[in-house]
C-alpha cells in the first residue's frame, strides 16, 4: 500500500459539511468508546464492533445528522474504536506499564474520516473528487495516482483540508545496481553527513531558516496571555510553521536516503543511542540527533525496499583513531583536519571518522522495528504520516 496525499480546495458549503461530519463522527466515536468503557469497567465485558454496528439503525432514527453521513464512513468510525481497544488489550497483555484506557477525543482533535471502500470517485482529468452525500471537491492533484485506490480519507490540518488515498501498488521489484563495498557515514551539525568516500551532504539552508522561524513563532505564543484569542491565533501559526519544517526535513531525508540506497547496498552509521551522551551535549545537537534518527530510519526503510541494509556501529573513538594505521590522537572539535603523526595521513576529520565507521562491524537496523519515526506507518502512509508528526509541547 502506498499513500497519496493532496490538498483539497473545498467550497464554503463543502467545508461546512466536512466540519459537521467530523463533529457528528467525533460524538459517535466518544459514545462508542463510552459504551465499551462502561461495559468493561462495570461487568468486564468487551463489546465488539459487530454489536455496536448493530445498533446503528436505531441510533439513526434518533439522530438525523447520522443519516446524512455515508454508512461506511460511520462504520469505519466504530472500527477505529475497536482498533483503539484492541491496542489497549494488547498493551494489557504485554503488561506495559502504561496500558492507558483509550481516550475520548475532543472535537478539534478528531480530524479525519474515511471512506473504507466506496462512496468516492476521483476524476484525475478534471481534478475532482466526488464524495457520496457530500458533493464534488477540487483536488490539487500534484502527481498522478498509479494503482487501485482502496480507501479515501478526508483530513483537517493546520492549513486546510487534505485527502489521503491508500493505493494498492503493483509489486515493483527494484533492480539495484548498488556497490558491494559498504559506505560509512558520519553525521554532523555543520555538514549534514560525510561519506567514507569523501563526499558530503550539505545541510539545506531551510534547516536553519525554519528553526529560526519556529523559535520566533514560539516566542510569540509565550508572549500572549493564556486563553486569549491572540494566543490561539499564534498557536495556529506555530503549528503551521512546525508542519512546514517537518515536511521539508522529511522530504530532504527521503531524497537523500533514496540516492544512498540506490548506490550502496550496505550503509553504516554510528549508533546515535550509544554516542549521543558522550560527545559534548547541547541543544543544537539533541535537535539534530532526532533528525538523524529519522534519517537513519528512513534510509533503513528504503534500503530494505531496495534489497540492501543499514547497519549501526559503535561510534566511540571513530574520530580519534587514524583510519589508515590505527594510531590515536586527541581530536578536539575545533580541529577539522586529521593529521596522523605516525603514518602521515592527512584527511578531513569527518571522512576519517566515516572510514572508521565503514570498517567496523555493525548491527543491522530493521526498518520495521525502529520506533523513533514510525517507519511502520511509513509503509502504509509512505510520506504523508511522517510529514506531519504530532505537534506537542505547547498549549493554548
- As measured in angstroms, the least distance from the Cβ of 268 to Zn ion is 21
Interface with Zn ion, residue 328, by CB under 5 A: no
Q: Specify whether the backbone of 133 is left (phi greater than 0), alpha (psi in -120 to 50) or beta.
A: left
Q: Would you say 160 or 344 has its CB closer to Zn ion?
A: 344
> Within 231-260, which residues bind Zn ion (CB under 5 A)?
none
Q: Would you say 49 or 338 has its CB closer to Zn ion?
A: 338
Q: Would you say 27 or 359 has its CB closer to Zn ion?
A: 359
Interface with Zn ion, residue 284, by CB under 5 A: no
Q: Give me the catalytic one of 76, 82, 186, 312.
A: 186
Question: Which one, of 129, 106, 158, 141, lies nearest residue 14 by Cα?
Answer: 129
Instruction: Choose the binding region for Zn ion from 36-44, 69-77, 186-194, 336-344 (rule: CB under 5 A).
Output: 336-344
- As measured in angstroms, the least distance from the Cβ of 340 to Zn ion is 3
Instruction: Choose the binding region for Zn ion from 9-17, 214-222, 279-287, 337-345 (rule: CB under 5 A).
Output: 337-345
Q: Give me the catalytic one of 76, 271, 304, 350.
A: 350
C-alpha cell at 339: 593529521
Interface with Zn ion, residue 176, by CB under 5 A: no
**d(C-alpha 283, C-alpha 275), whole Å:** 15
Interface with Zn ion, residue 327, by CB under 5 A: yes
Q: Give me the catalytic one of 76, 82, 256, 270.
A: 270
What's the Cα-to-Cα distance from 132 to each of 23, 93, 135, rounded to whole Å? 18, 40, 6
Interface with Zn ion, residue 347, by CB under 5 A: no
C-alpha cell at 192: 549534514
Name the pairing type of β-strands 266-270 and 200-202: unpaired
Instruction: Choose the binding region for Zn ion from 133-141, 270-278, 316-324, 349-357 (rule: CB under 5 A).
Output: 316-324
Active site residue 350: yes
Indicate which single residue of 281, 342, 368, 372 sits in contact with Zn ion (rule: CB under 5 A): 342
Interface with Zn ion, residue 68, by CB under 5 A: no
Instruction: Choose the binding region for Zn ion from 62-70, 80-88, 133-141, 324-332 (rule: CB under 5 A).
Output: 324-332
Count residues near Zn ion (CB under 5 A). Answer: 8
Active site residue 289: no
Interface with Zn ion, residue 322, by CB under 5 A: yes
What's the Cα-to-Cα distance from 344 to each of 324, 339, 340, 355, rounded to whole Å? 9, 7, 5, 16
Measure CA 7 to chain center: 18
Indicate which single residue of 345, 348, 360, 374 sits in contact with Zn ion (rule: CB under 5 A): 345
Interface with Zn ion, residue 340, by CB under 5 A: yes
- As measured in angstroms, the least distance from the Cβ of 359 to Zn ion is 13
Where along the sequence are the contacts to Zn ion (CB under 5 A)? 322, 324-325, 327, 340, 342-343, 345
Catalytic residues: 186, 270, 350
Amino acid at each position: 500500500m502506498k499513500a497519496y496525499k493532496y490538498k483539497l480546495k473545498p467550497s464554503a458549503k463543502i467545508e461546512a459539511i466536512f466540519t459537521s461530519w467530523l463533529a457528528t463522527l467525533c460524538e459517535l466515536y466518544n459514545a462508542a468508546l463510552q459504551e465499551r468503557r462502561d461495559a468493561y469497567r462495570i461487568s468486564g465485558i468487551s463489546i465488539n464492533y459487530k454489536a455496536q454496528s448493530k445498533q446503528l439503525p436505531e441510533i439513526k432514527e434518533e439522530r438525523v445528522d447520522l443519516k446524512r453521513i455515508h454508512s461506511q464512513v460511520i462504520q469505519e468510525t466504530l472500527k477505529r474504536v475497536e482498533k483503539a481497544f484492541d491496542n489497549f488489550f494488547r498493551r494489557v497483555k504485554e503488561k506495559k506499564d502504561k496500558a492507558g484506557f483509550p481516550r475520548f477525543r475532543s472535537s478539534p482533535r478528531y480530524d479525519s474520516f474515511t471512506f473504507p471502500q466506496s462512496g468516492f470517485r476521483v476524476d484525475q482529468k478534471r481534478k475532482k473528487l466526488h464524495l457520496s452525500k457530500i458533493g464534488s471537491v477540487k483536488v490539487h492533484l500534484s502527481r498522478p495516482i498509479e494503482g487501485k485506490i482502496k480507501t479515501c480519507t478526508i483530513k483537517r490540518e493546520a492549513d486546510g483540508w487534505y485527502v489521503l488515498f491508500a493505493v494498492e501498488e503493483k509489486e515493483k521489484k527494484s533492480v539495484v545496481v548498488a556497490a558491494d563495498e559498504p559506505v560509512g557515514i558520519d553525521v554532523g551539525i555543520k555538514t549534514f553527513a560525510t561519506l567514507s568516500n569523501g563526499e558530503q551532504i550539505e545541510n539545506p539552508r531551510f534547516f536553519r531558516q525554519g528553526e529560526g522561524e519556529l523559535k520566533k513563532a514560539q516566542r510569540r505564543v509565550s508572549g500572549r496571555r493564556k486563553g486569549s484569542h491572540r494566543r490561539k491565533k499564534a498557536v495556529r501559526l506555530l503549528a503551521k510553521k512546525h508542519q512546514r519544517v517537518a515536511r521539508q526535513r522529511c522530504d530532504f531525508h527521503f531524497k537523500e536516503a533514496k540516492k544512498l540506497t540506490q548506490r550502496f547496498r550496505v550503509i553504516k552509521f554510528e549508533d546515535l543511542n550509544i554516542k549521543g551522551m558522550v560527545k559534548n551535549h547541547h541543544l543544537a545537537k539533541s535537535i539534530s540527533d532526532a533528525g538523524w534518527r529519522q534519517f537513519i530510519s528512513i534510509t533503513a526503510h528504503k534500503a530494505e525496499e531496495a534489497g540492501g541494509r543499514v547497519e549501526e556501529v559503535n561510534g566511540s573513538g571513530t574520530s580519534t583513531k587514524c583510519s589508515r594505521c590505527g594510531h590515536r590522537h586527541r581530536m578536539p572539535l575545533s580541529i577539522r583536519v586529521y593529521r596522523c603523526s605516525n603514518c602521515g595521513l592527512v584527511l578531513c576529520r569527518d571522512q576519517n571518522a566515516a572510514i572508521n565507521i565503514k570498517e567496523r562491524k555493525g548491527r543491522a537496523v530493521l526498518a520495521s522495528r525502529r520506533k523513533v519515526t514510525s517507519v511502520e506507518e511509513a509503509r502504509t502512509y509512505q510520506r504523508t504520516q511522517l510529514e506531519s508528526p504530532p505537534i506537542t509541547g505547547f498549549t493554548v
